[in-house]
Structure 1
Amino acid sequence: MWGLLHFEPEIPTIFIIFLKWQGIITNFYHIVICILPRYSSLLNTNQPKKMKTKIFASLTCFLLFVLNLSAQPRQELVEVIVSPDHADWTYSLGEQAEFSISVYRNNVLLDGIEIEYIMEPDPGYRTLKIWDEGTRILKNNSTKIKSKKFTEPGFLRCTATVEVDGKEYSSYTTVGFAPDKIQPTTTLPKDFESFWEKGKEELNQVPMNAVLTLMPERCTDKVDVYHVQLDNIKGKIYGILTKPKKAGKYPAILHVPGAGIRPYYGEIDEAAEGFISFTIGIHGIPVNLDQSVYDDLSRGALNGYQTFNLDDRDNAYYRRVYLGCVRAVDFIESVDGFNGEDIAVTGGSQGGALSIVTAGLDDRIDYLAAFYPALSDMTGFLHGRAGGWPQIFVEEFTNKPEKIEVSKYYDVVNFARFVKVPGWYSWGYNDNVCPPASTYSAYNVLTAPKELHLFQKTQHWTYPEQQELKKEWLFTKLKK
């Protein structure tokens, strides 16, 4: 069985459809939305504590099993392989990339068939411009295609498509040209720091009023689990706290979420290893409700929340979210058993963005670890290259001067400029949701200690090895 892949669910639905199209099977969504809530409702009955614990454990095991089956890349009868001539997929300016294209059926190379190819720079999940396209016949089991010379830092994607027995098969590879020299297109507003200092001052005037509710059905012999409610500016923030039962002083990890609206279950295994773990939602609603509540919000009131009030700097949706992350740090400092010193923040996609934002806003953060941070260099599309998720500046509705200006106050690039703590980062060149041009735009302005772990082939998901590397880095830093 393949190792478990991890990917961040990105709502709206177009991203789920895209992931399916790219070969990520997402039956997981159907399990969570349609099946799990029906059985998890048993946890809200008057079942004995021991029975509730068994039910929760069974549901967890079932979910992990489904994830292992459903989050794997879909295997097709015919595989199209696009291989660059540099093993690290990275080139210097002025170089040409050469792609070798081959096609396998039943692990046997095919020959004499026609392939279509297209080369496009920095595409995201849209086609911005086409550099080259055409057809080739596979001879001696492959064909080679050379790109133009790249004179500016960026990325180039080569997509190959073949038809076999009336069905199309496709694959792509994205290579980088001097990605470490990519600079952001967004700019730093002169009052950026004062704007956010004012926001934190406003937050400080709001009492935290923490309400912790023990969740006995989720507790183990080593870990206590709580549902947490905190007061935030203009609403609440909710999360799941997991902490060791054993008395002691522990470092803490704040988990910030990928995009979407969903329940959370907490990091029980992490707490069992000697950490206080706090996993938050960002939408001001409890994170332990029936799945149908989140489904309704996703389709209704919170559909497209990413662009809510984007023309109003003081009321943009992410203002409350970003300050809510600071409130989460406030709470961690108040938790009995926190060692008073060591806090890390971590997440992927929107969570990767929030990790950088939190570290940029709050000097109580000591370490951060981020996968493919979203909301980075969102104005990229206005300059002929892919911008970061949610990839909004491509249509007249969002391409308004006031929206573009407000985005600068929420772009991860501008928070990265103020990060002062060590960071661990990881992404792939093939990511269409958070394209590498956008993530490098944030990474390249970081002046704090940083390390980048590239897994070039990955799209908007991670290998188990990436997750293990992140975990090892964080645990080592926090238990120094």
Structure 2
Amino acid sequence: MKLLSYFSLFLGLLSITLKAQNTPAPIKLVDILLTANHPDWNYKLNEEATVKISILRYGSPVDNVEIEYQYGPEQLNPEKKGILKLKNGVGEINIGTMNTPGFRQLKVQAKIDGYVYKNEIKAGYAPFEIQPTVSLPKDFDSFWKKAIDENNKIPMDAVVTHKPEFSTATVDVYLVRLQNYKLGNYFYGYLSKPKDNKPHPVLLNPPGAGVKKIVPVTAYAEKGFISLSIEIHGVNPEINESNFQEMRKNLSDYWAINLNNKDNYYYKSVYLGCVRAIDFLTSLPEFDKKNVVVTGGSQGGALTIVAAGIDKRVNYISSFYPALSDNSGYLYNRAGGWPSMFSDKYQNNSPEKIKTMEYYDVVNFAKKISVPGFYSAGYNDNTCSPTSTLAAFNSVTAPKEIVITPISAHWRFGETDDQSMKWLREKCGIQ
């Protein structure tokens, strides 16, 4: 028995040693650098864009390398494919132009010593002139007013449980359960409050896409906000793993559930849940009674815009690359938003589904925003296409500012997060 214990200990130490010896490389052995001839990656209509390609190994050009390339409108079938041999590891490709606002995408790959390396770049053509394709229903406002009025009849039935194991020296953390949409239907969130018992702005942090167990977030409370980070599917973060995996399986394509019925579409309860979360936050005795903030990215960025569009208690928002924007773009031969529901991949373009989406498309909520907003997006985002996110941003008529980091894909730089937080704190008068 003792020998077995020593052997198990040996295997454990060996595993740790091997992992330490095989830490994944933080950089690529070979880099494909793509450099647009406009440093901001923006072009005028009918202006041609050229991209310089550099293949580097250890920071030096790779000789006699061939690349495969393709380019065309983003997210659609490429207009041209080809092979180009680079002289001294450097070459150039003209990716053409556009006569309507939008984005063109160049994809490049090279095979070196049996390994394939890839990169891509998107050029924006009059991106701040992109207009949405989705229609705004005449009864959009009355539809959502009725939905909120009906939801107000459902008791909040809030259950708030202190979680000292997640709390810090300066922040108290609580698990919150709120009733929403129907009796017996609940969603969960982690509330984080500064321990100073002073009045604070409240901040709603809706989640990105997927079915996940939420985790406590204390960063906003450390910056002076009372924050609530929520999930949208009714997943108690303390659920056992087998039940959680069953829920994930059943909700794998939740965005498509009841898409043919605007009154019962899956996102109806989600959008109303954001309003319910604000009901809860504004009921807290520590709420400063004036500042309500919403911020999130991707699906969270979408829900940020939705909340500001239908809940006039919201004062300021910060939305990063919002999903669910201009979903009908694919019906007009251009990129739409996540989850690409009307693209060839899903074949969802029935009249009923298209009509339902008009009531849920983020663009139509963006048109209703009346409060200042901070926005951010990257051009290399293949999840929430810049065509769709700019269609939403361009639909906002309220005071707004945007940070574009063109090289960003479906992520953002820490510097952008810092800008967002500084903006929100200044707006709310946090010193």
Answer whether TM exceeds 0.5 for this pair. yes
Amino acid across the alignment from 1:420 = S
Within 2, Cα distance between the matches of 1:285 and 1:170?
37
* 1:280 lines up with 2:230 in the alignment: yes
Q: Which residue of 2 aligns with 1:112?
A: 64
- Distance across 1 between alignment mates of 2:339 and 2:317: 22
- Residue number in structure 2 paired with 1:428: 378
Give the structure 2 partner of residue 198 of structure 1: 146
**Of residues 376, 384, 405 in structure 1, which corresponds to 2:325?**
376
Deviation at 1:120, TM superposition (A): 1.6
Q: 1:343 maps to which residue?
A: 292
The Cα offsets for residues 87-111 of structure 1, whole Å up to 9 and x where unpaired, read as 0000011100011111011211113
1:148 to 96, 99, 103: 96
Q: Alpha-carbon deviations, 1:262-300, whole Å to 9, x = none?
A: 2223332322333211111111232333455433322x2
Cα 1:381–1:74 change in 2 (3 A) is: farther
Q: Structure 1's 232 and 179: CA in aligned 2 closer, same or farther, altered over 3 A?
A: same
CA distance in 1, matches of 2:325, 2:176: 30
The residue aligned with 2:191 is: 241
Equivalence for 2:255: 306
TM-aligned CA deviation for residue 139 of structure 1? 1.8
Query: How much has 1:479 moved relative to structure 2?
Result: 2.2
- Return the letter of the residue paired with 1:103: I
Residues 51-107 of structure 1, C-alpha deviation per residue, up to 9 Å, x if partnerless? xxxxxxxxxxxxxxxxxx98xx96322111111100000001110001111101121
CA distance in 2, matches of 1:446, 1:315: 27
1:322 corresponds to 2:261: no
CA distance in 2, matches of 1:431, 1:292: 33
Q: Which amino acid aligns with 2:49?
A: A
Q: In the alignment, residue 373 of structure 1 is paired with which amino acid?
A: P
Q: Deviations over 1:142-179 (max 9, x none)?
A: 11111323211110111111121122211111110000
Question: Which amino acid is 2:208 matched to?
Answer: G
Q: Do the aligned residues in 2 keep the contact of 1:117 with 1:160 (CA within 8 Å)?
A: yes
What's 1:392 paired with? 341
Q: Partner letter of residue 184 of structure 1?
A: P
Larger C-alpha radius of gyration, 1 or 2?
2
Unaligned runs of 5+ in 1: 1-68
Q: Does structure 2 retain, via aligned residues, the 8 Å contact 1:371–1:426?
A: yes
Give CA-to-partner distance per residue, 1:371-405, whole Å, 9 cap, x none: 11000001111111111001111246412111111
Separation of aligned partners in 2, 1:111 and 1:448 = 52
The answer to whether the Cα contact below 8 Å between 2:61 and 2:88 also exists between their aligned partners in 1 is: no
Q: Structure 2: which amino acid aligns with 1:190?
A: K
**1:13 — aligned with what?**
none
The alpha carbon displacement at 1:470 in A equals: 1.4
Q: SS of the counterpart of 1:369? A: strand
- 1:218 alignment counterpart: 166
d(CA) in 2 for partners of 1:189 and 1:293? 39
Is 1:250 matched with 2:200?
Answer: yes
Match in the other structure for 1:165:
113
Number of aligned residue pairs: 406
Q: 215, 223, 230: which is aligned to 1:265?
A: 215
Q: Quote the Cα distance in structure 2 between the aligned partners of 1:293 and 1:74.
A: 36
Q: Within 1, Cα distance between the matches of 2:241 and 2:391? A: 36
- Partner amino acid, structure 2, of 1:186: V
d(CA) in 2 for partners of 1:155, 1:114: 26
Tell me the C-alpha RMSD between the 2 structures. Answer: 1.7
1: CA distance, partners of 2:167 / 2:421: 22
Give the counterpart letter for 2:339 in structure 1.
Answer: P
Give the share of equivalent positions with the same residue, in percent: 44
Would the alpha carbon gap of residues 337 and 385 (structure 1) be closer, same or farther in structure 2, given more than 3 Å must change? Answer: same
2:7 corresponds to: none
User: Matches of 1:207 and 1:161 in 2, distance apart?
Assistant: 56
Change (3 A) 1:191 1:462: same
Structure 2 segments unaligned to the other structure (5+ residues): 1-22
Tell me how far apart the structure 2 counterparts of residues 130 and 435 of structure 1 sit (CA, whole Å). 16
What letter is aligned with 2:117?
A: Y
Q: Match for 1:447 among 388, 392, 397?
A: 397
Report what 2:9 is aligned to. none
Q: Which structure has the higher relative contact order (CA within 8 Å, separation 6+)?
A: 1
Aligned partner of 2:177 among 226, 229, 246: 229
Conserved 8 A contact 2:235-2:244: no
Task: Read off the aligned partner of 2:234 and give its amino acid letter.
Answer: G
**Could you tell me which amino acid in structure 2 is paired with residue 389 of structure 1?**
W
- Structure 1 residues 117 and 272, CA gap change in structure 2 (3 angstroms): closer
> 1:165, 1:280 → 2: CA distance?
47
